[in-house]
Amino acid sequence: MIADLDQRRAVGPEIHGAAPTGDLAELWENHQLDLKLVNPPNRRKFKVIVVGTGLAGAGAAATLSELGYQVEAFTFHDAPRRAHSVAAQGGINAAKGYKADGDSVERFFRDTVKGGDFRAREADAYRLSELSVRVIDHMTAQGVPFAREYGGGIATRSFGGVQVSRTFYARGQTGQQLQIAGSQQLLKEVGAGRLTLHTRTEMLDLIVSEGRAVGIVVRDLVTGEIRPVTAHAVVLATGGYGNAYFKSTLAKSSNVSATWRAHKRGALFANPCYVQFHPTSLPLNSEWQSKVTLMSESLRNDGRVWVPKEPGDTRPPNEIPEEERDYYLERLYPSFGNLAPRDISSRAAKAQLDAGKGVGPLRNGVYLDFSDAIARLGRKTIEDRYSNLFELYIDATGEDPWTEPMRIAPGPHFVMGGLWTDYDGMSSIPGLFVGGEASFNYHGANRLGANSLLSASVDGWFVLPWTVPNYLAPQLGTDPLPEDHPDVQATVRDVREQIDALLSVGGTRGPDYFHKELGDLLWDHVGVERNGHSLAKGADAIRDLREEFWRDVRVVGHGQQLNQELERAGRVADFLEMGELMALDALDREESAGAHFRTEYQTEEGEAQRDDEHWASTSAWAPAGPDGRPVRRSEPLTFERIALATRSYK
């Protein structure tokens, strides 16, 4: 144990009873019978706030509105369609079993739990698998143009980490198609006058009164107006915090502020150290790059990953003969090969880079080669499958993947961590619900490809609309808190003070400077591989950087206008706090699991070495107490349907 760990964090009581118990196959169905209902005429008496209009938020808002609840939806985008769900490329998993390849709900559940390296809650993972079937039906009915077979049925393909074909897709734009369909359902409710949508409006705080979530404070991004909105319940579907790394695959505006500010009001934050590095990102090509470009993992279906056998080989790829290439994924993981799960593929790539075998001008990538697939299947087939991805690559790099291999590298991508929730999707603050990537519950320590669109869809369409009413039902006859309530006004005041504080530092460096510095620290210390000493150093450096931020940040302009620097400064301030908790959680978790790879804890073969005796648990962090130490609580994980086992993809 790192000597000063106890000075850095406290340990709180364990969490029990977050999910019902019983036979997993009947758990959700039985639980639904236990959930309280609200009589249709009474539904309009309840108001629900939904923050975020991505797949989870749009689904929850549209469905709750259809059911008859008053819904107010918020997005900082100019339109609900822009939410970052739009950028997911490869597909969405479902245990439809449309192919005779042995797939089933049970198998999908096992793949998800195993893929997450046994750090997910069994009950939630089972429900994800079970409801996947309904998501595909629902999205198809909405007109999502899923890829089709010639017979008119829906096509599927394989994805990393599994051996069956259960990924539904719409070329390389699956997220876009699902997201647009979801936002259409949301707008349908707006058009019908049943739902109020606020665009260009950012949530800056959660209002908590008598221990319950009762509203939010928002800022109108165009006018700068700050105001409270109160309701009977609040749903956060505000995405993940991967942009803490600055150069990530996320959209530029994606941020942690909504969930982080809820955390500062008491909501437990689960597993902040679980960050997925996507193996098929594009390598950085200059200092000025503002983000990492993502290429869909589906490319690994037909692309072969390799590096030159000799370190420092600078020959162009096509001049390196077959016998001097190392197809290292096929060599190390013969049964899964190029479809090994993301955490394993990313770590394997990093090992090649560390061995000096990186390719490209900055020697920071590995090859993803389509020449065999083009020769075997023909250019037309490959075009059908990936044409837009190839075009994306050409635009981004100016290189032609039809004639030479793509170059790829691991990049910060998806976070498995998020606000802790129970089986109902409710956080540790009653009345605060969380869905999609903002939550934590399905993916354990590593998410399988094409499970992200699924988890957002399941939460939004098929879980929250059942569980939120269960919370509302006993509140019949109560009104949302009035805006002049002292708890509401106190929260508004806190938000104003923070904005004034940002504007009044008057420093010399813009918010992006600090964001990039934070990103570099996280990449170096809380990256693909971590170790205790480096994590402690990283946590300290992040704290120093945060102090420097509050001494030296520069925000030009004022707050009563569209001010993008001010928006960024507020988000960076939160990332600087979040970043330290990511390092602390990684330091605290003294094992390797999934994407959390501590170099001190590995098998002889260099694979992740879990410590199930001490760490078969979710870490859920409470905000720092008066002594400045965040408090780590644990939710023990039990595995009854699937036995704890060492993952093997060999």
CB closer to other proteins out of 246 and 274? 246
Contacts to other proteins from residues 391-420, by CB under 8 A: 391-392, 395-396, 398
Per-residue x/- track, 118-157, other proteins (CB under 8 A): ----------------x-xxx-xxxxxxxxxxxxxxx---
First to last CA, the chain: 31
Q: Is 184 in the site for other proteins (CB under 8 A)?
A: yes
Packing angle between helix 24-34 and helix 105-115, nearest 10 degrees? 100
Concatenated DSSP letters for 145-194?
Answer: ---B-TTSSBP-B--TT-SS--EE-STT-HHHHHHHHHHHHHHHHHHTTS
- The yes or no reply on residue 78 touching other proteins (CB under 8 A) is yes
Site string for other proteins, 245-274 (x = CB under 8 A): ------xxx---------------------
* Binding span for other proteins by CB under 8 A among 23-31, 76-84, 104-112, 212-220: 76-84
Residues 6+ apart with CB under 8 A from 153: 98
Which of 75, 129, 177, 345: binder of other proteins (CB under 8 A)? 177
Residue closer to other proteins (CB basis): 144 or 214: 144
641 is catalytic: no
CA distance 357 to 391: 27
From 224-232, 299-307, 545-553, 556-564, span contacting other proteins (CB under 8 A) = 556-564
State which residue, 554 or 641, has the beta carbon closest to other proteins. Answer: 554
Q: How many Å apart are CA 616 and CA 51, to the nearest integer?
A: 32
Please state the three-class secondary structure of 317-381 as a single string: HHHCCHHHEECHHHHHCCCCHHHCCHHHHHHHHHHHHHCCCCECCCCCEEEEECHHHHHHHCHHH
Instruction: Compute the distance between CA of residue 614 and CA of residue 612 in angstroms, rounded to an integer.
Output: 6
| Residue 609 engages other proteins in binding (rule: CB under 8 A) | no
Task: Name residues contacting other proteins, limited to 503-522 (CB under 8 A).
Answer: 510, 512
Q: Which of these is catalytic: 342, 610, 632, 647?
A: 342
- Residues in the interface with other proteins (CB under 8 A) total 80
Tell which positions 526-555 bind other proteins, by CB under 8 A.
554
Read off φ and ψ for residue 161, nearest 5 degrees: 90, 0
> Of residues 464-493, which lie at the interface with other proteins (CB under 8 A)?
465
Q: Among residues 548 and 612, whose Cβ is nearest to other proteins?
A: 548
Contacts to other proteins from residues 422-461, by CB under 8 A: 461
Give the separation between CA 251 and CA 238, rounded to whole angstroms: 13
Six-digit token string for 180: 């647009």
Overall size of the chain counted in residues: 650
CB of 615 to other proteins, least distance (A): 36
Taking CB under 8 A as the binding criterion, the range among 4-12, 15-23, 279-287, 329-337 that sits at the site for other proteins is 279-287
Residues 294-323, mask of contacts with other proteins (x by CB under 8 A): x-----------------------------
User: How far is the C-alpha of 602 from the C-alpha of 306, rounded, in Å?
Assistant: 24
> Does 33 help bind other proteins (rule: CB under 8 A)?
no
Residue type, 67: L
Active-site residue set:
342
